[in-house]
Amino acid sequence: MDKHWIEQLKITDIESVTPMSGGDVNEAYKVDTRTEQYFLLVQRNSSADFYAAEIAGLKQFEAAGIQAPVVIDYGQIAGDAYLVLSFLEEGMEGQQSELARLVAKMHQNKQPDGQFGFDLPYQGGDISFDNTWSTQWRDIFVKQRLDPLKAALVEKGMWQTTDIEQYDKVRAIINQSLADHHSEPSLLHGDLWGGNHMFLTDGSPALFDPAPLYGDREFDIGITMVFGAFNQSFYETYQQVLPLADGAELRLEFYKLYLLMVHLLKFGGMYASSVERSMYKIIQAKA
């Protein structure tokens, strides 16, 4: 990290800046001062509003009492967007039942006007999603998430005619299933895979790196199921605290498909068979 760049941060008495793992989108650093530690995210060649949605999500978490990093500062330096957060010290693996209670607590926060969406769009490294408010969850999920993913996959030449035909069948099933399901606009993490939670040194769970929106809480739960970082205790406890409605098993597959499509777009053909299997499951469930 360039020394002159670092000197422009609104942090005094910096002693060291150490690169850390920050996902595939941002550069990430641990910043040590004489008295504090901070977590610094940098997005090169981006405007200051690159982190606007994440900041808004973290502030909503703070207001709702959801343990997560606290926003310290943000802005732009030399054409690069940056975000400074409080540093959370990771500890040993904690109780996934407590993680489930934290997620359920987040989901109990509802959009007061009954609207689905968010004030800000989701900005990712490979694709962005519109979060324009709607009275219907299926409009947000199908029209503002799945359809843009399908268009991007076609544009990149990753989907051909057969894939598009399968998608159209799946889209119709999802639309009808969500039309028949009562959704409530809960505060969602929006990207709740295993890499976006941690247990602190006292064993308590914390969430970070949100892609926030108000939507059906099954969206978050479906995403947790893709990469296997959440155990049976998590799902049993969540079901005890906030039971899912009948028919959830099929609907959860919709959200698994979404995340797999995102990964197919980002990382290529290694996810093609997983996307195909997920679409097949959805079609067979309604056959």
Please say whether the beta carbons of 97 and 234 come within 8 A. yes
**Of 9, 48, 57, 1, nearest to 28 (Cα)?**
1
- pLDDT score of 82: 96
The CATH number, out of the four listed (3.90.1200.10, 3.30.565.10, 3.50.50.60, 3.40.50.11740), of the domain defined by the range 96-285:
3.90.1200.10
What tokens does 197 get? 């939670």
Identify the three-state secondary structure at position 182: coil
Q: What is the pTM of this model?
A: 0.94
If DSSP states are collapsed to H, E and C, what string results for 77-126?
Answer: ECCEEEEEEECCCECCCCCHHHHHHHHHHHHCCECCCCCEECCCCEECCC
> Which region holds residue 134: left if phi is over 0, alpha if psi is between -120 and 50, else beta?
beta
Q: Give pLDDT < 50 ranges for the chain.
A: none
Find the catalytic residue in 191, 209, 216, 220: 191
The pLDDT of residue 43: 92
CB atoms within 10 A of CB 162: 9
How many CA atoms does the CB half-sphere of 170 hold within 13 Å? 27
Q: Which of 201, 220, 200, 202 is nearest to 210 (CA)?
A: 220
Structure tokens belonging to residue 131? 């979060």
Helices and strands, counts by H and E, the chain: 10, 11
Q: How far is CA 99 from CA 2, 9, 179, in A?
A: 38, 33, 30
Q: What is the CATH number of domain 3-86?
A: 3.30.200.20
Give span(s): CATH 3.90.1200.10, the chain: 96-285
pLDDT in tens, 116-157: 999 999 987 678 899 999 999 999 999 999 999 999 999 999
Which residues of the chain are in CATH 3.30.200.20 domains?
A: 3-86
Q: 62-65 — which CB contacts under 8 Å span 24+ positions?
A: 64/105, 64/106, 64/109, 64/187, 65/105
Q: Which two tokens stand for residue 202?
A: 């006292």
- For residue 191, indicate whether it is catalytic: yes
Residue labelled with tokens 């799946």: 170
Taken in order 131, 136, 142, 147, the sign of the CA dihedral is: negative
